[in-house]
Structure 1
Amino acid sequence: MRLPSLNALRAFEAAARLGSLTRAAEELHVTPSAVRHQIRALEEEIGRPLLRRNGSGLMPTEAANGSLGHLRRAFDALADANRSLRHPATAPTLTVSAVPSFVSAWLIPRLEGFQRRFPGVTVQIGTNALPTDFHREGVDLAIRYGLGGYPGLFECRLFSERYFPVCAPYLLDGPTPLAEPGDLARHTLLHSSVLPRSGWPVWRDWLDAAGVLAQVDPDAGTHYTMSMFAYQAAMACQGVALGTTVLSMDMLAAGYLVKPFDMELPTAFGYHIVCPPESRERPLVAAFIEWLLEAAGEACTGVEG
Structure 2
Amino acid sequence: MNPVFPFLALRAFAEVGRHGSMKRAVASLGVTSGAVSQQIRQLEERVGVPLFVRSHHGMALTDAGARVHPLLLGAFDQIEEALRTLETERARKALTLSAVPSFAASWLVPRLGSFTARHPDIEVRVEASTGLADLRRDGVDIAIRHGLGGYPGLLSERLMTPVLAPVGSPALLAAGAAIREPADCLAYPLLQDADRADWALWLAAQGAAEDPRAARGSAFEDDYLLIRAAQAGLGLALVPQEYARDEIAAGRLALALDRPWPARFAYYLVMRPDVARRPEVQAFADWVRDQARQMAGASGQR
Q: TM-score range by the shorter chain?
A: 0.5 to 0.7
2:61 aligned partner:
none
Is the CA contact 1:101–1:228 (under 8 Å) kept in the aligned structure 2?
Answer: yes
Identical amino acids, percent of aligned pairs: 32
Structure 1: segments with no counterpart, 5+ residues: 1-6, 12-17, 38-54, 61-69, 85-89
User: What amino acid sits opposite 1:105 in the alignment?
Assistant: S
Q: TM-score, normalised by structure 2?
A: 0.67
1:239 aligns with 2:235: yes
1:32 to 1:291, Cα distance in 2 relative to 1, 3 A:
farther
1:225 to 1:129, Cα distance in 2 relative to 1, 3 A:
closer
Is the CA contact 2:200–2:210 (under 8 Å) kept in the aligned structure 1?
Answer: no
1:250 to 1:152, Cα distance in 2 relative to 1, 3 A:
farther
2:120 aligned partner:
119
2:256 aligned partner:
260
Q: Hey, what's the Cα distance between the residues in 1 that align with 2:67 and 2:249?
A: 51
- 1:297 CA displacement: 1.0
- 1:292 CA displacement: 0.5
2:87 aligned partner:
79
1:286 to 1:73, Cα distance in 2 relative to 1, 3 A:
farther
With 261-270 and 119-128 compared, the bigger mean Cα shift is at 261-270
2:276 aligned partner:
280
1:148 aligned partner:
149
Q: Hey, what's the Cα distance between the residues in 2 that align with 1:92 and 1:154?
A: 21
Q: CA RMSD in A?
A: 4.2
2:137 aligned partner:
136
1:103 aligns with 2:104: yes
With 90-99 and 106-115 compared, the bigger mean Cα shift is at 90-99
Q: Hey, what's the Cα distance between the residues in 2 that align with 1:180 and 1:127?
A: 36
Aligned to 1:217, what secondary structure does the other structure show? helix
Aligned to 1:192, what secondary structure does the other structure show? coil
- 1:233 CA displacement: 2.8
2:32 aligned partner:
none
1:99 to 1:76, Cα distance in 2 relative to 1, 3 A:
same
Structure 2: segments with no counterpart, 5+ residues: 1-5, 20-24, 30-35, 47-65, 72-77
Aligned to 2:164, what secondary structure does the other structure show? strand
User: What amino acid sits opposite 1:239 in the alignment?
Assistant: G
User: What amino acid sits opposite 1:235 in the alignment?
Assistant: Q
1:207 to 1:244, Cα distance in 2 relative to 1, 3 A:
same
Is the CA contact 2:147–2:267 (under 8 Å) kept in the aligned structure 1?
Answer: yes
Q: Which of 232, 235, 244 is the aligned partner of 1:248?
A: 244
Map 1:1-305; keep pairs closer than 5 Å. 22-23=17-18, 75-81=83-89, 84=90, 91-168=92-169, 176-193=177-194, 196=195, 201-213=197-209, 217-251=213-247, 256-304=252-300
1:252 to 1:102, Cα distance in 2 relative to 1, 3 A:
same
Q: TM-score, normalised by structure 1?
A: 0.67
Q: Hey, what's the Cα distance between the residues in 2 that align with 1:56 and 1:282?
A: 35
Is the CA contact 2:186–2:214 (under 8 Å) kept in the aligned structure 1?
Answer: no
Aligned to 2:289, what secondary structure does the other structure show? helix
- 1:175 CA displacement: 5.0
Q: Hey, what's the Cα distance between the residues in 1 that align with 2:41 and 2:279?
A: 36
- Once the two structures are superposed, residues 169-227 of structure 1 have per-residue CA deviations (whole angstroms, 9 ceiling, x without a partner) of 5666655322222322332212222xx2xxx8521222234344466711333332322
